[in-house]
Amino acid sequence: MSSAHILVVDDEPDIRTLIQEILEEEGYEVSVADSGGAARRQRRTHRPDLILLDVWMEDIDGISLLREWAEGGELPCPVIIISGHGTVETAVEATRLGAYDFIEKPISLARLLLVVERALEADKLAREVVDLKQQLPVVPEPVGRSDTLQRLREQVLKVAAHDTGVLLKGEPGSGKKTFAHFLHHNSPRRQGPLVEISVGSLSQSNSAVELFGSEDEERVHYGRFEQANRGTLYIDDIGDMDEQTQARLLSALETRSFTRVGGTEPVRLDVRIVAATRHDLDQAVAAGRFREDLYYHLNVVPIQIPRLAEHCEDVPELLNYYVTFFVDREHLPYRHFALAAQNRLRNYSWPGNVRELKNLVQRLLILGSGEEITLDEVESALQAQLMNRDSALEDSTLFELPLREAREQFEKNYLEHQLQEAGGSVGKLATRVGMERTHLYRKLKALGIDVKKGSD
């Protein structure tokens, strides 16, 4: 993983060179600009992690440039103002606009390095706080000690050491995001950001902007790729990506660069891609829904995440983990599972995988009473889940899914019910649901609904 990228903006060549040499000796990646215009161009070419900005320059002063960058509400990265003729008013204005600190010339190199280090650390902590507020906590490490999980954990640790793309395959709720976090935090990029994006939550019209960013005159919007610079970009629901965005992603992976929407200059790419899918991408490629060349780029190291039913011996440990999780996080009353209840859940099929287990624990802690969760309580909860599953709109996990995934689950449940009502006849099913038969066959195949030959 490369070190932090610092942009030094100063119209004095000696100072630019001195600061550049000192920072590079400390292991930072440094770009320089001798004017405001050059600084704008540098920001477009390579997103900086920190900017050292001189106040007095010929084309534009640093405070005006700072104000321009802060127009969106906040600065894109920490900015440290440097000036040989600083005033209290200048320092106050810089701080008001969001500058991290103000350093006077002649520059104390020891102070410069200390302020740079503190600014980068403060920015990292701020981003981590934002991430925690925007998403539920992710399990830091896969929970369980089964042979299946131990082998998978060892496989992920081996893959994590090599800076290559990874494709995680598995059913919804099986823990793909957990393994993505586990991989990142055990990789050489662990000090860099882990940025997540779910393709299923994006509309076709804005997916390219969200991933690759955009440019409009002097304004630059950094997309998820640049936000994940020197770190890992986790792309969930990759199989739902539209064709145009697939083409952009393929180009970025092939050239290790991309162009923002509305931009003209290529931006260097220094990101590890971890993609995840619940779909069979081989079938998607064969059906023409997913680019074959992109699939081969992503599928360098495929990792299959097993269904919970395939490592059911981990269920008791998962139950205990999520009891502690909800007691600590949501202050729910502590309850423990009776041995008979644990045994029943160990032998349950878990169609919703770990996500279903987590929801079940939360519901039992909220609705139950007494220190022990009994077998009768568990049976009642499972029966309620079974009844709810008959109606996709009442499925407890459906509302947690991205819109595209929820719609697909509803379509699957709906067509399976209608097919049963039609006695297994696709011809009668087509009449019942008002679909052309050829299109209906493709839909049934895409949803994984088994239709027996001769059912017409």
Q: What is the pLDDT at residue 177?
A: 93
Helix-, strand-, coil-residue percentages of the chain, each rounded to 5: 50, 15, 35
Torsions phi, psi of 197, nearest 5?
Answer: -150, 135
Cα 153 from Cα 151, distance rounded (Å): 5
Q: Write b or e for each residue in 109-141: b if 16 or more Cβ atoms lie within 10 A of its Cβ, otherwise e.
A: eeebeebbeebbeebeeeeeeeeeeeeeebbee
Tell which wins on pLDDT, 426 or 386.
426
Query: Which tokens in the block code for residue 333?
Result: 């009353």
For residue 106, whether the previous peptide bond is cis, meaning omega lies within 30 degrees of 0, is yes
Q: What is the pLDDT at residue 103?
A: 87
Q: Where are the alpha helices (DSSP H) in 368-402?
A: 375-389
Place of tokens 């931009």: 263
The predicted model scores a pTM of 0.67
Q: What is the mean pLDDT of residues 39-52?
A: 87
Tell which wins on pLDDT, 384 or 358.
358
Q: What is the pLDDT at residue 74?
A: 63
Q: What is the pLDDT at residue 52?
A: 93
Q: What is the pLDDT at residue 128?
A: 63
Q: What is the mean pLDDT of residues 73-92?
A: 78
Exposed, middle or buried, 202 (CB in 10 Å: 0-12/13-18/19+)? Answer: buried
Cα 322 from Cα 30, distance rounded (Å): 45
Max alpha carbon distance in the chain (Å)?
87
Torsions phi, psi of 186, nearest 5?
Answer: -115, 15
* 40-54, 122-136, 293-307, 429-443: segment of lowest average pLDDT: 122-136
Cα 247 from chain centre: 20
Cα 19 from Cα 25, distance rounded (Å): 10
Q: Is the pLDDT of residue 454 over 50?
A: no
Average pLDDT, rounded, for the chain: 85
Q: Are 366 and 334 in contact (CB under 8 A)?
A: no
- What domains are there in the chain, each with its CATH number? 5-134 (3.40.50.2300), 147-304 (3.40.50.300), 308-394 (1.10.8.60), 402-446 (1.10.10)
Task: Give the tens place of pLDDT for each residue, 68-77.
Answer: 888 655 677 8
Mean pLDDT is highest, among 97-106, 134-143, 390-399, 417-426, for: 97-106
Strands 50-54 and 301-304: unpaired
At 62, the pLDDT band (50, 70, 90 cuts) reads confident
At 133, the pLDDT band (50, 70, 90 cuts) reads very low
Q: What is the mean pLDDT of residues 204-217?
A: 82
Tell which wins on pLDDT, 433 or 50.
50
